[in-house]
Chain A
Amino acid sequence: MPASRTGTVAEGAGEPSSNGGDPSRVAGAARRGRSLLGAVAGPVLERIQDRLAADLDDRDPDYIRENLPWVWLLSSLWFRGEVRGMGRIPEDRPVLLVGNHSGGNITPDTLVFTLAFCTYFGVERRFHQLAHNLVLSSPIGPLLRRYGTVAASPQNARKALEAGAAVLVYPGGDWEVHRPSWQSGKVDFAGRRGFVRLALEADVPIVPVVSIGGQETALFLSHGEHLSRALGLDRLFRLKVLPISVALPWIVNVGDFLGHLPLPSKITIQVLEPIELTERFGRDPDVDEVYEHVTELMQATLDELAAERRLPVIG
């Protein structure tokens, strides 16, 4: 499950595969740290549980509108954002927007796309983003809720879709967002198929949203999944990763808990045509088949976007 700005609804979905390391090698050294983590985790988890339920009414269109200027400045001048194909998003019905995710815990793709959505359709249109529990429990959680961010769970996503909203989900979540920078051109949902089941249950189209550039805002080196498991972070906080990167201003950045100063990498986002699942795959679609179709489409688009880039960061 993700630790990034936005997250996954793929409960029970396949886990990221191990790359062959032995977690027991570091488990002993981490045992004392893990017991300490366990002691402090209780109150934190209680706080998280309190904030899990989706209150869609926390979304505040006036607040979003008043904050668009600085988001626009950041998106236009720092990230030189370019969003293509917004007109493909159905205007008058709920829709599940499925994106690939990049940029560590500072996710410029979300910022650029949220701005594009709010200016294109207006802040009046309901738009919710799914985020990891830890993000919503952090000090910025209350601010994100006013943007329409809710905790990533199938229940919350269904509730938002039933309310007629456009819902943005990043199935790859914390796994994908911390992938090494040299895998920038790879869509990696880690087998999480929850988004397909959600779209089928809610009978809404999937609109793939493919972005590139976020993984060039720092030098991401490793997911750190073995370290996370050894420290018990996966059990305590649903954190599958403890990423390691080279990023400003920390230089060596472990965890990315405080975020980082992103390099001004050009962010390009391509919105694809909506996929009507029952229309395309029949009345009882196979989840695996839909998953493969969506990820293949997104990967092909990401390949095209990668081919357009001449230089890292510059774009």
Chain B
Amino acid sequence: MRIEQSIEVDAPRPVVWDYVTDPANNLEFMHGATRWEVAGGIDRGLGARYRVLLHIGSADVGGLIEVVEWSPPGDMAWSSVTGIDQRGRWRLRDLPQGGTRVTFRFAYGVAGGGLWGLISERVAARWLRSDFRRTLENLKRALEGDRTLA
């Protein structure tokens, strides 16, 4: 199952990049995230690992993820090491009129597949879409609010 959502943020791409790739910010703006901890020696960049949990339904679901793509200030992608199979990506692009288009992609699958796997993927998608929408809105609010305050 793959979910993609976008939003336009009135902030320069490097500023958005710094914000979304700083693990200290994830619990602030990622709706439903209950844990986002650095696991290992690197806190950001290629090979950085995080222990991540998202509250979905009745459980905190996630595991250990590792950054597998790091192209500042455009693309950052991660893949799961343990826990639920997942792949996530932040994709930032300049807007012609200024500002940044922020795209968040999240692909996941449950182990074993089968009928229960298919159903649970679809049921989870309903929660995740809502959470990711609010995540992007939080991001926009944080960055545009910060700039206004500055």
User: Which of A's residues lie within 8 Å of B, judged by CB?
Assistant: 62, 65-70, 72-73, 75-77, 79-83, 86-87, 112, 115-116, 119-120, 122, 124
Q: Return the contact of A75 from the options B58, B83, B119 (Cβ within 8 A).
A: B58
Chain B contact residues, majority secondary structure? mixed
Q: Please, which residues of chain B bring their CB within 8 A of the CB of A62?
A: 111
Q: Please, which residues of chain B bring their CB within 8 A of the CB of A82?
A: 58
A116 and B112 form a contact (CB under 8 A): no
Q: Please, which residues of chain A bring their CB within 8 A of the CB of B111?
A: 62, 65-66, 68-69
A112 and B63 form a contact (CB under 8 A): no
Q: Please, which residues of chain A bring their CB within 8 A of the CB of B98?
A: none
Size range of the interface on B? Answer: 20 to 34
B120 and A69 form a contact (CB under 8 A): yes
Q: In the assembly, what is the distance between CA of A81 and CA of B60, in Å?
A: 11
Q: Please, which residues of chain B bring their CB within 8 A of the CB of A72?
A: 57-59, 61, 120
B120 and A70 form a contact (CB under 8 A): yes
Q: In the assembly, what is the distance between CA of A73 and CA of B117, in Å?
A: 10
B112 and A86 form a contact (CB under 8 A): no
A69 and B117 form a contact (CB under 8 A): yes
B58 and A83 form a contact (CB under 8 A): yes
Give residues 76-120 of B contacting A (CB, 8 Å). 82-84, 110-112, 114, 116-117, 119-120
Q: Return the contact of B60 from the options A65, A73, A119 (Cβ within 8 A).
A: A119
Q: In the assembly, what is the distance between CA of A68 and CA of B108, in Å?
A: 14
Q: Please, which residues of chain B bring their CB within 8 A of the CB of A115?
A: 58-59
Q: Please, which residues of chain B bring their CB within 8 A of the CB of A67?
A: 112
What residue in chain A is nearest B121 (Cβ atoms)?
A69
B116 and A70 form a contact (CB under 8 A): yes
Q: In the assembly, what is the distance between CA of A66 and CA of B113, in Å?
A: 8
What residue in chain B is nearest A73 (Cβ atoms)?
B120
B120 and A122 form a contact (CB under 8 A): no
B112 and A66 form a contact (CB under 8 A): yes
A79 and B58 form a contact (CB under 8 A): yes
Q: In the assembly, what is the distance between CA of A122 and CA of B114, in Å?
A: 21
B112 and A77 form a contact (CB under 8 A): no
**Can you give 6 contacting A-B residue pairs, CB < 8 Å?**
A69-B119, A69-B121, A73-B120, A81-B59, A82-B58, A122-B64
Binary interface profile of B, 59-75, with partner A (CB < 8 Å = 1, else 0)? 11111100000000000
Besides A76-B58, A83-B59, 11 other CB < 8 A contacts? A66-B111, A68-B110, A69-B110, A69-B121, A70-B120, A72-B61, A87-B35, A115-B59, A119-B53, A119-B60, A120-B60
